[in-house]
Structure 1
Amino acid sequence: MDINANIESPLLLKVSFNKLVKQYEKLIANSDEHVSATAQRVLDIAKENPILVDGFSDATIFKTHEKEIKSILQDTFSPVLTKNEIKTASVPYHDFIFNASERFKSILNIAGDDFKLEMKNLPENQRYIMACTAILNFCYGYNLNVKRPLFYEIPDDDGVTRYYKILYNADFTEIIPNENAPKITQEDYDELLDNFDNIELWRKKFPPNSYTFKGFVISNIFDVTDDQSISNIKSNLIKEEKRSNSSFVEEFVEIFQSLFGLKNIKVGFSIYNEEEDTFEQIYGVGTHSYLLNDLESKLCADVLCEWSYNKLLREHDFFSVSDVDKSLTCSNDEAPHIKVLKKQGFKSAIFAPIANENGLLGILEIVSSTPKVLNSINANKLVDVMPFIIAAVERSKNEEANLIEAVIQKECTSIHPSVKWRFKKEAKNFIRHQIDGKDANFNKIAFENIYPLYGQIDIKGSSEARNWATQQDLSLQLNTLKDILKNAIEKENLPIYAQYIFQIDDFISAIDEHFQVDSEHQISNFIKIEIEPVLQHLYAANILKDEIDAYFESIDNRVNVLYHHRKNYDDTIASINKEMAALLDLKQIEAQLMYPHYFERFKTDGVEHNMYIGESITQEDTFSPIYLYNLRLWQLQIMVEMENRYYQMQSDFPIKLDVASMILVFNQPLSISFRMDEKQFDVDGTYNARYEIVKKRVDKAFVKGTQKRATEKGKITIVYSQKEDELEYLRYIKFLQSKYYLDTDVEIVELQDLQAVTGLKAIRVSVLYHKDKNDKSFYTYEDLMQEINK
């Protein structure tokens, strides 16, 4: 078998002991008789076996000349040190070894027959290029240093990975150009300097087998497990997106196993919450706290005993528990951190504080199911790795703080992407002024000459529905209390019970006949002040305990009232808002692609949205009225889609409520500015304020001369004041009628005057509905209700 088989390299490998023999030729005349005798012995072997000097690639020669090769290498592989030194003789950048010390052979035997020796940190393409750089140095006198630390990763008898660093001694090597070797010029060299990753270029300059490697290398190998483990810990902690990587914790545990030389250990973390003095689980894939076990968080004082609390939180010092069973006995079974280890089957542990100058950040937990393998002695191995863990946790905490801030910004004080450029511009100016020592003021952010669009999908009769739900809950709660008091009279005939029943009947009548705004408050106070003490008395007297337990189980702990019908109402409102807002947000992504514009929405009893479009928002000279008209048509179409989506989901909600949709058209451009105190945009100027007044009041407006609201279930209401707006939207309606979005019953009505606002009109048109997304038929509101209720 040829040792060059299945290898692509610019070097044709020939093992030769020529240069080693030449060293012995110099020693033949040495005054030391022993040295000269050894030299003569080696030279005799070389003379009798010229192939060992000329060089060979046939692997079988290693077997036929095993004795001679071993004799030539006797000084290099000292028999005295062979059981201590880790050393091999091989060819460079390949895993072919033809001689090794007894220590190295032992390491491979322990690894097992299935283990395949392979150099790490040397990608396949780079093997070729590394050989090329060796040629440049040997044959052309360049001094290119591209050496990388090479390693073997070999498991020990416990299955723990140990790391061995390889250092080459190339004193006994020669590199000789073959006939097919192109001459490397300075121009070639300069080109290669800028193309390390261009493997094809290196192959062109150094074709395969264009040079002969003659000789061998001595590999001096050192166990660097501790150093490499520390380096691996550092590298792993630097990795991005660790929490989303399921293999991160597994790799981390394996590294710690190598560091401690123990297979049977696990690594956990808990984060310290200073505000609440609690330990918390880390969110993320695979991470776990063995101090907390299956709890999400717990007070530190309940996790640790007083001594361990002081050790970790105040002294910021690590400690070990070498024998859990013994420690539990010594603590009289009272140390909580020992008890939780025992519960999980662990027998020894090390706890190390992750702390900086500002205080505790978290706890590193190393645990084992074997007693005494983790102890105060090997705990000192953590001294070298803790700085990297602390740095990683600090960075993680900062990232988490930034993420929390980003979530708050998005969910609570979001700045829409369409205007973020202005905020960034002002923020840069603010920072620049601070750095220059000037008065730093965040300038007013305003946009002029922009067109507003407003729409809402409102829940009809929401106040009446909530009042009904409240009445039902209060009535049910009062009747339950009335039954308890009636049964109490039979057990303990006190006249006060009858008086309370009289009061309850009075409240029930009031609820049925004239429920008022303050009725709920009055009844809640009556129950809390008058009735609950009675229930406590009965319970203490062991009277009607089951009925009283059942009553309190029906009371919601968060609001301290019976919360059944009201919960259905609140859940319905929340679900409607969530679904409508989600649909609007999704559709907005498409609208932004048509032309950028400002968008915001609000959840009330329904969902409202504002949009502003114009040149000053886009930062580009591209605005045209066509984009405004397009957005108005898009808005009308989306309102119809939201109506459809709502009624398709209506049966899924606990309460069936109706919705009504409205669009407000404002023809004139206006100005808006960001109000720092309220963290939102508002209109500027007295004239523009008229728009805000209309927005807030128009949905409550009546059709002129009637007591009917402008908005109506099953219809889209478009409110406007200018004739051109009317004509524009009638065109949109006609288009959507052709698409079977809207019905043909278009009506135009005048609205009653609002405070400081007159002359408003409204176009009202019925929506055509579909039973579900796949339904091609269309229905009026009445048809849809009949279909749904079949």
Structure 2
Amino acid sequence: MNDINENIESPFTLKVSFDQILKHYEVLSKSDDEFIAAKACRVLKTAEGYPELRDGIINSQDLVTREKEIRIILQDSFSPILTKNEIKTASVPFHNLIFNSSERFKSIIETAGDDFELQIKNMPEDDSYIIACTIILSFCYGYHINFKRPFYYEIPDANGIMQYYKILYNADFVEIIPSKNAPKITQEDVDELLDNFDNMEMWKEKFPPNSYTFKGFVISNIFNITDDQSISNIKSSLIGEDKRKDKSFMEDFHQIFQSLLGLKDIKVGFSIYNEKEDTFEHVYGEGMNSFLLNHLDTNDCSDTLCKVSYNRLLKEKKFYAVSDVDKFHKLSKGKAPQYKTLKEQHIKSAILAPIANENGLLGILEIVSERPKVLNSINANKLKDVMPFIVSAVERSKNEEQNLIEAIIQQECTSIHPSVNWRFEKEAKIFIKDQFNGNKPSFNKIAFENIYPLYGQIDIKGSSDARNWATQQDLTIQLNGIKSIIEAAFDIEKLPIYEQYLYQIEAFLEGLSTHFQVDSEQQISVFIKQDIDPLLEHLLVVESLRTQVESYFGSIDDKVDVLYNHRKEYDDTIALINKEMASLLDQKQVEAQVMYPHYFERFKTDGVEHNMYIGESITKENSFNPIYLYNLRLWQLQVMCEMENSFYLMQPNFPVKLDVASMILVFNQPLSISFRMDEKQFDVDGTYNARYEIVKKRVDKAYIKGTKERVTQKGKISIIYSQKQDEIEYLRYVKFLQSKKYLDNDIEIVELQDLQAVTGLKAIRVSVLYHKDKDDQSFYTYEDLMKEISA
């Protein structure tokens, strides 16, 4: 197989060409620098007589034949001085064909062994086709679609330890040429592709195989990222649920730590600390070991560690490294229990790392080797970057274990609303009976049929904008504080790095004021944590700056480690609103349950939502009548008005002024709900009933037909429905509440723009009447109330 395009499906026909780089040398040959011009002429002369070097090579054997000429052409890109240090190749993209490389790269491949086959690890075949298409969109049509992913090689070193190498492509010497038959790509095509990433047939229709010529080559700059990748792998391994049940989990974990520490023959173990009993306990799971406990399930800390190691790990929460177990066992005269236990297992060196949070020790990470001195106090410091992930995993594991200790009904279900608790008790009794009789117990499906749903929400308007504004204010204040310190430091010592930091701060400040984005907060926080905080710690020693730096650190919130003034006011406001609205709703629910039992649940988001279900199957009695449904609907509408009033009475006391909008969703057909054991909540059953859930999730963002006005508005209650009979029913309720001075007289009926899979929705909108205070007998519209409050 000589054709480099053989057995590869791609929109490209690949041609290895040096035309673009030779054009660069044509320019350099006219340089005023005689040395540069002479060298450029030499390179151009080398290429003379070999037109294939410019026209393009598709036969791999021709690359071998022209190896000498190619090496001369690429000499500046592959500097002989750096060839033993840089890891670099020349190739075509997403292809394992390499026709020039640095000496360092060759050495790495040779060390990997004769059986090693170089491959890009995270490049699925379909993805490579689509990446090629996005390159064409950028090169030929100017559509820049970001599908960049980090590509890397996995290559074992001389000791068989896996090393990870990141690949960065330089495509300066590439041109892409469409064939005569290549379909012309339009904006409409691009828009269609944006929503069809997985539709490979569509991509191939727009970009048929071999419809473009890739002419040139890429230079791959390759970097060893083993430490970073090992840390990432540790994090990924710990994130997944139930990993301890996976037989390969600990085997993979050993390999990850081997890569991190660069040591082949090491093993990893864990022991959990029981604070109440001051003991270490075995961690249960496939392949889990504790080298401190050896064969014991549990052991007193005093019988596991000597006083020095006990204080080091439990009190000081620092690494305890033993570079030579035999030596220290001898020095302790066999009395230190940790050396004795390790020696019995033929362990020669070890690192014991405390898994601890602010509350104390959670457990011990144990890394051991059967070779002396390979584990020591120096390489123990490499664990600092991974310990936070291990701490988080152990915290989660302890919480999970505590949850498992709960009663069986908590294990199988969740806290249950009193109106349906009878049904769960019935199933729990059947569960216990089956378990007692030796049968395999299981919770039967719990469902309620022919029940009527009611849904309402009081939603905070513009919460995202308010949060963004608060974030912008805090970050601006914090950055300006940092800026003034660095300016003062620059006046003292003219370091270029200070200028660079000031430039970065100015860029961040401009971005905050002009185009604040979702990831701006994260970018600035990383910049401050990684670059600025260490600098300010250093500047604390400068006498003239100490007061200013201490003042800055004093403005930083200890809990969240950022300046947290406006954001705290926003968060406190949201928490207060949710607390007060939920509390009022809960109080009113007690009264409603007395009228007629029904299922009720509420959720705190940016506001408060509630679900109610009423029907015969929930009450367990032959007592249900539609009058109870009508009563609950009227009650809901009245309570929503009271919640609106309660909110605006409290609004002047909130740290941040926010508004709310209320909505009720009417669904006039009975449906069925069932308890989902996996999500621990009730959900509707059936395709038709699912329409109700779809509307719930989308309707508050719906627009009035033909406008850009949202159906939910501050100062109004919106009642969403689809049937004429619902309109008639709720207009009766509205008129009644108008007579009670809950609602104003400005009723409007509007049609809603169609939602995805939902059409024909309408809404009754009517303004709420407010009281200035609890004793005030006057009634105000929203606008009147705002004037009165601000007067």
* TM-score clears 0.5: yes
> What pairs up with 1:80-119 in 2 under 5 angstroms?
80-119=81-120
Aligned-partner Cα distance in 2 for 1:239–1:579: 31
Task: Report the counterpart of residue 164 of structure 2 in structure 1.
Answer: 163
Task: Report the counterpart of residue 17 of structure 2 in structure 1.
Answer: 16
Counterpart residue type for residue 337 of structure 1: Q
Aligned-partner Cα distance in 1 for 2:237–2:309: 29
> Residues 123, 308 of structure 1: CA spacing in aligned structure 2 closer, same or farther, 3 A cutoff?
same
> Residues 619, 301 of structure 1: CA spacing in aligned structure 2 closer, same or farther, 3 A cutoff?
farther
Counterpart residue type for residue 335 of structure 1: A
Deviations along 1:295-328, one digit per CA (max 9) or x if unpaired, are: 1111111110010000001110011100111111
Asked if 1:385 is matched to 2:398, the reply is no
Aligned-partner Cα distance in 2 for 1:360–1:158: 35
Task: Report the counterpart of residue 26 of structure 1 in structure 2.
Answer: 27
Task: Report the counterpart of residue 195 of structure 1 in structure 2.
Answer: 196
> Residues 452, 290 of structure 1: CA spacing in aligned structure 2 closer, same or farther, 3 A cutoff?
closer
Verify the 8 A CA contact 2:435 2:441 in the aligned structure 1: no
Aligned-partner Cα distance in 2 for 1:288–1:77: 49
1:405 positional shift: 2.4
Task: Report the counterpart of residue 64 of structure 1 in structure 2.
Answer: 65
Task: Report the counterpart of residue 559 of structure 1 in structure 2.
Answer: none
1:407 positional shift: 4.5
Task: Report the counterpart of residue 134 of structure 1 in structure 2.
Answer: 135
Verify the 8 A CA contact 2:427 2:444 in the aligned structure 1: no
Counterpart residue type for residue 350 of structure 2: A
> Residues 579, 93 of structure 1: CA spacing in aligned structure 2 closer, same or farther, 3 A cutoff?
closer
> Residues 455, 363 of structure 1: CA spacing in aligned structure 2 closer, same or farther, 3 A cutoff?
closer
Aligned-partner Cα distance in 1 for 2:76–2:310: 59
> What pairs up with 1:238-387 in 2 under 5 angstroms?
238-387=239-388
SS at match of 2:417: helix
Report the number of matched residues.
462
Aligned-partner Cα distance in 1 for 2:106–2:419: 64
1:621 positional shift: 3.6
> Residues 242, 423 of structure 1: CA spacing in aligned structure 2 closer, same or farther, 3 A cutoff?
farther
Aligned-partner Cα distance in 2 for 1:453–1:23: 79
Aligned-partner Cα distance in 2 for 1:217–1:451: 68
Aligned-partner Cα distance in 1 for 2:331–2:426: 75
SS at match of 2:405: helix
SS at match of 2:311: helix
Deviations along 1:97-155, one digit per CA (max 9) or x if unpaired, are: 11110100000000001011111222221111111100000000122221111111100
Aligned-partner Cα distance in 1 for 2:440–2:321: 57
Deviations along 1:390-436, one digit per CA (max 9) or x if unpaired, are: 111112212222222255845xxx87x9xx652499xxxxxxxxxxx
Aligned-partner Cα distance in 2 for 1:453–1:401: 24
Aligned-partner Cα distance in 1 for 2:256–2:333: 36
1:222 positional shift: 0.8
Range that drifts further, 299-308 or 43-52 = 43-52
Aligned-partner Cα distance in 1 for 2:348–2:140: 61
> Residues 352, 33 of structure 1: CA spacing in aligned structure 2 closer, same or farther, 3 A cutoff?
same
Aligned-partner Cα distance in 1 for 2:427–2:406: 30
Structure 1 length normalisation: TM-score?
Answer: 0.55
Aligned-partner Cα distance in 2 for 1:226–1:125: 29
> Residues 335, 424 of structure 1: CA spacing in aligned structure 2 closer, same or farther, 3 A cutoff?
farther
1:284 positional shift: 1.3
Task: Report the counterpart of residue 696 of structure 1 in structure 2.
Answer: none
Task: Report the counterpart of residue 730 of structure 1 in structure 2.
Answer: none
- Which residue, out of 411, 418, 422, partners 2:417? 422
1:180 positional shift: 2.4
> Residues 146, 579 of structure 1: CA spacing in aligned structure 2 closer, same or farther, 3 A cutoff?
closer
Aligned-partner Cα distance in 1 for 2:448–2:75: 81
1:455 positional shift: 12
Aligned-partner Cα distance in 2 for 1:119–1:105: 17
SS at match of 2:393: helix
Deviations along 1:509-550, one digit per CA (max 9) or x if unpaired, are: xxxxxxxxxxxxxxxxxxxxxxxxxxxxxxxxxxxxxxxxxx
Verify the 8 A CA contact 2:282 2:297 in the aligned structure 1: yes
Asked if 1:42 is matched to 2:77, the reply is no
SS at match of 2:220: strand
Aligned-partner Cα distance in 2 for 1:104–1:219: 11
> Residues 132, 327 of structure 1: CA spacing in aligned structure 2 closer, same or farther, 3 A cutoff?
same
Q: In structure 2, list runs of 5 or more residues that go unmatched.
A: 451-596, 600-612, 623-791
Task: Report the counterpart of residue 766 of structure 2 in structure 1.
Answer: none
Aligned-partner Cα distance in 2 for 1:259–1:580: 51
> Residues 139, 274 of structure 1: CA spacing in aligned structure 2 closer, same or farther, 3 A cutoff?
same
Task: Report the counterpart of residue 150 of structure 1 in structure 2.
Answer: 151
Task: Report the counterpart of residue 581 of structure 1 in structure 2.
Answer: 437
Counterpart residue type for residue 318 of structure 2: D
Aligned-partner Cα distance in 2 for 1:235–1:361: 21
Task: Report the counterpart of residue 510 of structure 2 in structure 1.
Answer: none
Deviations along 1:264-315, one digit per CA (max 9) or x if unpaired, are: 1001111111111111111111111111111111111111001000000111
Aligned-partner Cα distance in 1 for 2:416–2:241: 28
Aligned-partner Cα distance in 1 for 2:284–2:620: 49
> Residues 30, 275 of structure 1: CA spacing in aligned structure 2 closer, same or farther, 3 A cutoff?
same
Deviations along 1:198-227, one digit per CA (max 9) or x if unpaired, are: 222211111111111000000011111111
Give aligned-pair identity as a percent.
61
Counterpart residue type for residue 7 of structure 1: I
Aligned-partner Cα distance in 2 for 1:375–1:454: 55
Counterpart residue type for residue 417 of structure 2: R
Counterpart residue type for residue 366 of structure 2: E
1:78 positional shift: 1.0
> Residues 60, 253 of structure 1: CA spacing in aligned structure 2 closer, same or farther, 3 A cutoff?
same
1:620 positional shift: 4.5
Deviations along 1:487-516, one digit per CA (max 9) or x if unpaired, are: xxxxxxxxxxxxxxxxxxxxxxxxxxxxxx
1:583 positional shift: 3.8
Deviations along 1:748-781, one digit per CA (max 9) or x if unpaired, are: xxxxxxxxxxxxxxxxxxxxxxxxxxxxxxxxxx
Aligned-partner Cα distance in 2 for 1:237–1:295: 25
Aligned-partner Cα distance in 2 for 1:242–1:288: 15
> Residues 333, 622 of structure 1: CA spacing in aligned structure 2 closer, same or farther, 3 A cutoff?
closer
1:32 positional shift: 2.0
> What pairs up with 1:390-409 in 2 under 5 angstroms?
390-405=391-406, 407=408, 409=410
Deviations along 1:610-658, one digit per CA (max 9) or x if unpaired, are: xxxxx9899654599999xxxxxxxxxxxxxxxxxxxxxxxxxxxxxxx
SS at match of 2:128: helix
Structure 2 length normalisation: TM-score?
Answer: 0.55
Counterpart residue type for residue 399 of structure 1: E
Aligned-partner Cα distance in 2 for 1:393–1:10: 48
Aligned-partner Cα distance in 1 for 2:620–2:391: 57
SS at match of 1:298: strand
Asked if 1:224 is matched to 2:225, the reply is yes
> Residues 31, 9 of structure 1: CA spacing in aligned structure 2 closer, same or farther, 3 A cutoff?
same
Aligned-partner Cα distance in 2 for 1:7–1:170: 20
Aligned-partner Cα distance in 2 for 1:160–1:208: 39
> Residues 94, 287 of structure 1: CA spacing in aligned structure 2 closer, same or farther, 3 A cutoff?
same
Counterpart residue type for residue 157 of structure 1: A
Aligned-partner Cα distance in 1 for 2:95–2:620: 71
> What pairs up with 1:700-739 in 2 under 5 angstroms?
none
> Residues 381, 407 of structure 1: CA spacing in aligned structure 2 closer, same or farther, 3 A cutoff?
farther
Aligned-partner Cα distance in 1 for 2:64–2:71: 11
Verify the 8 A CA contact 2:20 2:216 in the aligned structure 1: yes
> Residues 424, 86 of structure 1: CA spacing in aligned structure 2 closer, same or farther, 3 A cutoff?
farther
1:22 positional shift: 0.3
